[in-house]
Amino acid sequence: MSDYVASFKLTHAGALKMLNAGIAKALEMKQPQCITITDDGGHLMAFVRMDGAKVLSIDSSRKKAMSAASARAPSGQAHAAVEIKLALATDGKLTNLLGGLPVIVDGHVIGAVGVGSGTGEQDLEVAKAAIAAIPGAKQH
């Protein structure tokens, strides 16, 4: 077994491309959003709070991205019985709200996007648009 593995990294240019695609989708929907882009470890790479987006959605969009990066899966997929336990065990860092998606390229999680300020379905739609900006990224 090797002591290291090859991996892909989301660049700042890719993060900005995702952010701009998410903004464009939110504008098209006429639903201002908070959009967070993180690396594969859930660390902030890019963020915007669009004019009119809810202030507390700053935090929820970040936690959605962190949750998707950590779980390597969309947020909002955990069983309802573990939602509170998940939040308590992580000191509120992880959430089970819709709107967080991992960015997966060739089977590697390279980052995540979290969106908040609309309904869960609207947030998810904007997150999907952000991911679609990255060539070869898995569509959810």
Task: Establish if 64 belongs to a structural domain.
Answer: yes
The pLDDT profile of the chain, 140 residues, written as one tens digit per residue, is 899 988 899 999 999 999 999 999 999 999 999 999 999 999 999 999 999 999 999 999 999 999 999 999 999 999 988 889 988 999 989 999 999 999 999 999 999 999 999 999 999 999 999 999 999 999 99
Domain membership flag for residue 121: yes
Burial of 60 (0-12, 13-18, 19+ CB in 10 A): buried
pLDDT of residue 135: 96
Q: Where residue 103 sits, what CATH number does that domain have?
A: 3.30.450.150
Contacts of 59 (CB under 8 A, 6+ apart): none
- Domain-located, residue 99: yes
Q: What is the dihedral of CA 69, 75, 79, 84, to 10 degrees?
A: 80
Q: Which domain holds residue 110?
A: 12-132
Sign of CA dihedral 50, 66, 114, 108: positive
How far is the C-alpha of 9 from the C-alpha of 3, rounded, in Å?
A: 19
Q: Is 7 within the bounds of a domain?
A: no
Is there a domain that residue 2 lies in?
Answer: no
